Structure 1
Amino acid sequence: MSDPLYRVFRPLVTPSVRLVCFPHAGGTATFFRTWADGLPGVEVMALRYAGRQDRLGDPFPASLAALADEVAESLTARLDAPLAFFGHSMGALLAFEVGTRLETRHGTSPVRLFVSGRPAPHRAEPTELHLADEAGLLAEVARLGNPDPLVFADPDLRALVLPALRDDYRLLETHRFAHSRVRATVVAYGGDRDPACGVRALPAWAELTTGGFAQRVFPGDHFYLVPCEPALVADVGERLRAALNEHASKPAAQRVESQ
């Protein structure tokens, strides 16, 4: 199934579950390119944000809510297998908003909602980084632990990626959280030295779900996902297997509601 919104890594004819990955601010789908190697039977599909890579010429979304609307609607064509979401940083908020829309508008829910490196939206401190100058944006990138230092060191590449980064911060910083909750089980991940999301911020995600909560902390900064990828992917895989066992044990009517 071809869709410009997603990059699918190792497409499967009959996946046990589709893991939809939502990148961080300034991030790209290729951040998740190796995840399929550690998740047999799972179809990993990563969101391709506008304004970068092969969507470089596409206009930025009007708002994070508008983007969440678009993604939720697109996923209704992929409900032949259970869905799970993994969102890092900005992607955590977007994944949550997509999850609420699938539940309220389409009566379906991801079997797991994995959120990473982002305080719960009702606890996040307001920022205005989208209004900062280039030096301010680069300082924030450095503070978080830049996963792509060569990109930001090259003036030509930097000129290509900074507009998308700035606009992603605009989406984040102008979004108004509606204080909604999801039915999906939420799993919160974080790095123990993350300056953007301290370990103490993770438990607040439990307040936004009626379906159970768990968390795990890894060593590292905001981009702990890079050095800890094998352990993180293994943990995601284990939790997905548990979720699918729970899903299969439900009566058929409940499976439709929670798929």
Structure 2
Amino acid sequence: MLENKEGTPREWAVSTEEVFISSDGLLRFPRPPKNEEAYLVCFPPAGAEAFMYDGWVRLLPESINLCAVQLPEQEHDVSAVISQVSESLLQNIRPGKKLFFMGICLGAIWAYEVARYLRDRAGVQLDHMIVVTFPAPDQRESAVAFMRTEKFIQIMTSYFPPDSLEYQYVLSRVPAMMHTADLADQSLPPLDTPLACPLTAFASLHDQVVDPKLLQTWQPYTSGPFHVHMCDGDHFYGDHHLEEFLQSVVGYLQGA
């Protein structure tokens, strides 16, 4: 849980009546805070934008408030990205709530590094961490390399007609995706002290990008309970079966 020792008020920049964005632009809350018991902080895959999570709130219980991270796309230093996102969370998440992290694809790396920053710099411990279809940081090299290939771009665009807005949008995000891959290629601190929270890894049986067996590489990254949840789908299982996916996620977060 986060503890706000200073008790300072939170400041919000409101983009619509329903969506709240932190003043630094790094955090997006698709529904206003109420009496939630926990926050689910979502780290999107490479090149994706925080609004991709807006539709999730209709499938999440009101006890969980969703916070989507927007990585600073103009930043070229991986340590600066981690510290900026971490400090924004410390300033903008209300204290006394459970804190869950979810990282999808390359977002799993940022979720872990921010979790470690919060633990080491602010004494904040996660209540649960979920990683989706991406190997542990020390095994990331091959997956990041594949993201740079034409085949990966073809996989990403294959779900949409070439003349569709969705197809063009995916192509428009390729530079941002490559920038995130550049960040992930930078040196990261080696594993020292594992996280202490439960860690659940979602793997896909028919993943075209990551060998599902590599999700097991996350086990040393926590001293808490570890579980691999196997999905009968491809790398984008969560997108194509969102309701089923989130039902499983919520089950783990609520201790089912």
Q: TM-score, normalised by structure 2?
A: 0.80
What residue is the counterpart of 1:16 in the other structure? 37
- 3-state DSSP class of the match of 1:214? strand
1:199 aligns with 2:242: no
What residue is the counterpart of 2:179 in the other structure? 167
- 1:216-240 Cα distance to aligned partner (Å, 9 max, x none): 1112211111122111111111222
1:227 aligns with 2:249: no
Shift of 1:146: 5.5
1:44 aligns with 2:60: no
What residue is the counterpart of 1:123 in the other structure? 139
CA distance in 1, matches of 2:165, 2:83: 31
| Among candidates 108, 114, 120, match of residue 130 of structure 2 | 114
- 3-state DSSP class of the match of 2:203? strand
Asked whether the 8 Å contact 1:122–1:177 carries over to 2, the reply is no
Change (3 A) 1:211 1:119: same
What residue is the counterpart of 1:100 in the other structure? 116
CA distance in 2, matches of 1:9, 1:123: 33
Change (3 A) 1:12 1:118: same
Unaligned runs of 5+ in 2: 1-10, 13-21
CA distance in 2, matches of 1:148, 1:50: 27
Q: TM-score, normalised by structure 1?
A: 0.79
**Higher-helix-fraction structure:** 1
Change (3 A) 1:210 1:158: closer
- 3-state DSSP class of the match of 2:111? helix
What residue is the counterpart of 1:190 in the other structure? 203
CA distance in 2, matches of 1:200, 1:166: 25
CA distance in 1, matches of 2:232, 2:171: 32
Root mean square deviation, CA, Å: 2.3
> How many pairs were matched up?
228
What residue is the counterpart of 1:208 in the other structure? 221
Asked whether the 8 Å contact 1:144–1:222 carries over to 2, the reply is no
What residue is the counterpart of 2:55 in the other structure? 34
| Among candidates 80, 84, 101, match of residue 100 of structure 2 | 84
CA distance in 2, matches of 1:86, 1:33: 15
Asked whether the 8 Å contact 1:65–1:175 carries over to 2, the reply is no
Unaligned runs of 5+ in 1: 52-58, 244-259
| Among candidates 146, 152, 165, match of residue 140 of structure 1 | 152
CA distance in 1, matches of 2:111, 2:204: 19
